[in-house]
């Protein structure tokens, strides 16, 4: 929120009214938090805040699972209340999302009661859609966006194996539907030499249970027994299985792109290099110059990539002011696919487009500034 606040001060000489997520998750009535008549309403990420995470998990503990109880990992309210901060530990993702969804639904109802339904920079319903990879995949497919083929949401390892067999696929990505920063992602491949998987997860036995930790370094799991153990732990979080589509390479490794679309125009672009099959800016793979990708794709190919990103937002998320799209470029440097859409994907410090950061463009777009010509840049 700091970046957006600073941009609002620079460009509009205004300060936003800030409401901590801890108050919201703690069920403080909205009527006591915000005055009526605010011109815009903006949601910020609730992440990286342990008290808020615990509150959302507590809220999710009391909610029914719409896909059937017992299907995904859940903890009781008592178990959540007894937790303390344990950095890197993966807590029940589906339960967190249910708490988050209930919170945003209440927030939406408050805005509707007070005449604020049309003031969202990005409506909560679209934030929730982006936060559910299975639902987002379906929305992108329905909008005609090029995406990696999906195999579905497997219930367990054997179900995943059967989905792969039916689709004739030996390489898949398994992505927690409600995860972020590559937490819990598994890249799995099977062949004549056996099966292996790549993931940032570490599984630790403690107090009679298996605990999951995201260590932000890629580890290799080899052999059916170990891979089954890993996948069994991950699918309990509710995961989308996507076909593992090869990525183009730069500097000796694969890359993908984070493209931020603001006000209907592709703005900042970041090239994220990978160490192994996983590419994420938090995994230490480094970054590359956008110019290197532009040169390989050529002017027409680059323009086509930006158009795909803009059409993705226009068709699938027409009410959203901004989002960060993770985009894959195939080895031919022509074919592009949208991997994910991130509601809070605009945190790209010091990355400028036409002299402005992401937050400045958001302030301008929210207040009706005319967008510049498409020429997204970055580093």
Residue with tokens 């680059």: 302
- For residue 344, give both structure tokens: 């809070």
- 297: three-class secondary structure by DSSP: helix
3-state secondary structure of 358: helix
DSSP 345: -
Distances (CA, A) of 116 to 16, 109, 130, 172, 375: 16, 10, 21, 42, 34
- What pLDDT score does 130 carry? 98
CA 301, distance to chain mean position in Å, is 25
Per-residue pLDDT tens digits of the chain, which is 379 residues long = 778 889 888 988 888 888 888 887 777 776 666 666 678 899 999 978 999 999 999 999 999 999 988 899 999 999 999 999 999 999 999 999 999 999 999 989 988 888 888 899 999 999 999 999 999 999 999 999 999 999 999 999 999 999 999 999 999 999 999 998 888 899 999 998 899 999 999 999 887 888 999 987 889 999 999 999 999 999 999 999 999 999 999 988 899 999 999 999 999 999 999 877 888 766 666 889 999 999 999 999 999 999 999 999 999 999 999 999 999 999 999 999 999 999 999 999 889 999 999 999 999 999 885 443 333 333 3
Which helix H or strand E contains 32, and what residues bound it? Answer: none
- CA distances in angstroms from 371 to 39, 87, 265, 305, 358, listed in the order given: 20, 41, 7, 18, 13
Sign, CA dihedral 102-108-109-111, equals positive
CB-based burial of residue 71 (10 Å sphere; 0-12 exposed, 13-18 middle, 19+ buried)? middle
User: Within 10 A of 1 (CB to CB), how many other CB atoms are there?
Assistant: 12
- The CA-atom distances, in angstroms, between 64 and each of 67, 69, 176, 221 are 9, 7, 19, 34
d(CA 7, CA 40): 15
Handedness of CA 311, 314, 320, 322 (dihedral sign): positive
Report the SS3 class of residue 377: coil
Which of 250, 267, 244, 276 is CA-nearest to residue 325? 267
Is-contact 357 3, C-beta < 8 A?
yes
The predicted structure's pLDDT at residue 213: 95
CATH class of segment(s) 247-366:
alpha beta
In this structure, what token pair is assigned to residue 225? 């027994």
Domain boundaries, the chain: 2-120, 150-243, 247-366
Whole-number pLDDT of residue 378: 38
The pLDDT value given to residue 19: 85
> What is the structure's pLDDT at 379?
31
Q: Is the dihedral of CA 102, 109, 359, 366 positive or negative?
A: positive
Q: For the whole model, what pTM was predicted? A: 0.93
């Amino acid at each position: 929120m700091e970046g957006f606040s600073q941009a609002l001060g620079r460009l509009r000489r205004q300060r936003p009214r800030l409401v901590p997520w801890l108050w919201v998750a703690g069920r403080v009535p909205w009527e006591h938090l915000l005055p009526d008549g605010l011109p815009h309403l903006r949601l910020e990420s609730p992440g990286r805040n342990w008290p808020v995470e615990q509150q959302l998990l507590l809220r999710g503990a009391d909610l029914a699972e719409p896909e059937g109880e017992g299907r995904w990992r859940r903890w009781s309210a008592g178990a959540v209340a007894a937790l303390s901060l344990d950095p890197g530990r993966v807590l029940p993702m589906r339960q967190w999302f249910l708490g988050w969804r209930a919170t945003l639904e209440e927030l939406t109802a408050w805005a509707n009661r007070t005449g604020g339904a049309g003031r969202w920079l990005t409506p909560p319903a679209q934030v929730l859609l982006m936060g559910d990879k299975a639902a987002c995949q379906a929305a992108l497919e329905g909008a005609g966006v090029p995406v990696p083929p999906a195999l579905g949401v497997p219930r367990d390892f054997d179900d995943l194996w059967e989905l792969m067999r039916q689709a004739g696929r030996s390489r898949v990505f398994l992505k927690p539907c409600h995860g972020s920063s590559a937490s819990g992602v598994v890249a799995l491949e099977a062949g004549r030499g056996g099966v292996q998987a790549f993931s940032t997860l570490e599984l630790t036995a403690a107090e009679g249970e298996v605990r999951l930790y995201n260590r932000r370094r890629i580890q290799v799991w080899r052999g059916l027994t170990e891979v089954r153990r890993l996948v069994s732990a991950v699918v309990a979080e509710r995961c989308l299985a996507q076909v593992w589509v090869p990525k183009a390479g730069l500097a000796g490794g694969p890359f993908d792109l984070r493209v931020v679309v603001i006000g209907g125009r592709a703005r900042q672009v970041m090239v994220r290099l990978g160490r192994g099959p996983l590419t994420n800016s938090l995994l230490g793979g480094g970054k590359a110059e956008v110019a290197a990708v532009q040169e390989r794709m050529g002017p027409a190919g680059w323009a086509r990539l930006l158009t795909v990103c803009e059409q993705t937002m226009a068709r699938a998320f027409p009410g959203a002011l901004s989002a960060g799209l993770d985009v894959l470029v195939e080895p031919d440097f022509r074919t592009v696919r949208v991997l994910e859409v991130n509601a809070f994907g605009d945190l790209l410090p010091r990355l400028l487009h036409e002299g402005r950061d992401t937050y400045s463009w958001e302030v301008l777009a929210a207040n009706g500034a005319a967008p510049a010509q498409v020429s997204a840049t970055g580093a």
